[in-house]
Structure 1
Amino acid sequence: MINRVVLVGRLTRDPELRYTPNGVAVTNFGIAVNRPFTNQQGERDADFFNCVTWRKQAENVANYLKKGSMVGIDGRLQSRSFENNEGRRVNVVEVQAENVQFLEPKNASGGARDDFRGGQQGSYGAAQGGYGSQGKQGSSNLDEDPFASDGKPIDISDDDLPF
């Protein structure tokens, strides 16, 4: 049996972070995914999905994403039912997001609340010679184009070319 879902879309609301009685983080959020075709009026419709993620991934989603952020989700569909306040049985189908990828930088749509390379992930970026939230770290400049011409010919052997 296969139960796999891969989605790319934008958050429809800010993620809601909560904790179970055992202290496990859980985040609920919605995502809108554009359909690959247009309707009769020439407009694109969207499908809306409720998503749930757990533990560290849940905390990261809540801390770094907000309404409008573009994400890629890899997970599975899960159905559940419960009785609401009126005593009626409610059936729900949700995406259990096992992996959430942040698909755009902070400034693209105002999608993140903090610099991706700052904070907790800044230590990794600094170890790689990247930039942290405190400014330049390491000795290399990530914005520097390694193929920019400085007026000198590039010395590459034919043996170094992959083709």
Structure 2
Amino acid sequence: MLNSVQLHGRLTAEPQYKDGQTPMVRFSLAVQRNFKNKDGNYDADFINCMAFGNRANMIAQYFHKGSEMIATGEWRTGSYTNQQGQKIYTNELNVNTVDFAGGKNSGNQNSNQQRNSQQGSYGGAQTVDVTDDELPF
């Protein structure tokens, strides 16, 4: 059996990063549907995602609200009982790999600069500001 999902979308908000023994990040991707609705517009699905370890560090550092991302991973379902005693079901993508997508203006650059200065570097690595023109891809 195979559980593999690939999504291409934009982050709906800043990733929620939690540092600890195993770093973790949660974020939501807006993924456009392949067909137009009755009004002639494309609808989107909002997919909850999570990642752990070095992948979480990388996402928190390089992806921000509005960034375009290709995420591949495993679909996870779960459930919990809320305070009212109702069983709530959850669905999210457990991210295994991410790729940059989109062009030079993808995401919010002011937010990127602010976040990089607040978070610093991860794992002893030094943060370096690089423009899209300097990337080899």
TM-score normalised according to structure 1 size: 0.65
Q: Distance in 1 between matches of 2:126 and 2:129?
A: 10
Q: Is the 8 A contact 2:65 2:107 kept in 1?
A: no
**1:104/1:75 Cα in 2 relative to 1: closer, same or farther (>3 Å)?**
same
Q: 1:94 aligns with which of 83, 92, 101?
A: 92
The CA RMSD measured in Å over matched residues stands at 2.9
* Identical-pair percentage: 31
CA displacement at 1:85 relative to structure 2:
3.0
- In structure 2, list runs of 5 or more residues that go unmatched: none
Secondary structure (helix, strand or coil) at the match of 1:90 reads strand
Q: Which has the larger radius of gyration?
A: 1
Corresponding letter in the other structure for 1:74: T
- Map 1:114-125; keep pairs closer than 5 Å: 120=125
> Match of 2:67?
69
Q: Distance in 1 between matches of 2:96 and 2:83?
A: 30
TM-score normalised according to structure 2 size: 0.76
Q: 1:25 aligns with which of 23, 26, 46?
A: 23
- Map 1:74-153; keep pairs closer than 5 Å: 74-104=72-102, 107-110=105-108, 113=112, 120=125, 133=129
> Match of 2:6?
6
Q: Distance in 1 between matches of 2:101 and 2:11?
A: 12
Tell which has more relative contact order, 1 or 2 (C-alpha 8 A, sep 6+): 2
**1:92/1:76 Cα in 2 relative to 1: closer, same or farther (>3 Å)?**
same
Q: Is the 8 A contact 1:106 1:113 kept in 2?
A: no
Secondary structure (helix, strand or coil) at the match of 2:112 reads coil
CA displacement at 1:96 relative to structure 2:
0.6
Secondary structure (helix, strand or coil) at the match of 1:108 reads coil
Q: Is the 8 A contact 2:8 2:71 kept in 1?
A: yes
CA displacement at 1:84 relative to structure 2:
2.3
> Match of 1:129?
none
Q: Post-superposition, which runs of at least 4 consecutive aligned residues in structure 1 deviate over 6 A?
A: none
Q: Is the 8 A contact 2:76 2:92 kept in 1?
A: yes
**1:43/1:83 Cα in 2 relative to 1: closer, same or farther (>3 Å)?**
same
Secondary structure (helix, strand or coil) at the match of 2:106 reads helix
Per-residue deviation, residues 84-128 of structure 1 (Å, max 9, x unmatched) = 23332211011011111122466433267259xxx7487xxxxxx
**1:83/1:51 Cα in 2 relative to 1: closer, same or farther (>3 Å)?**
same
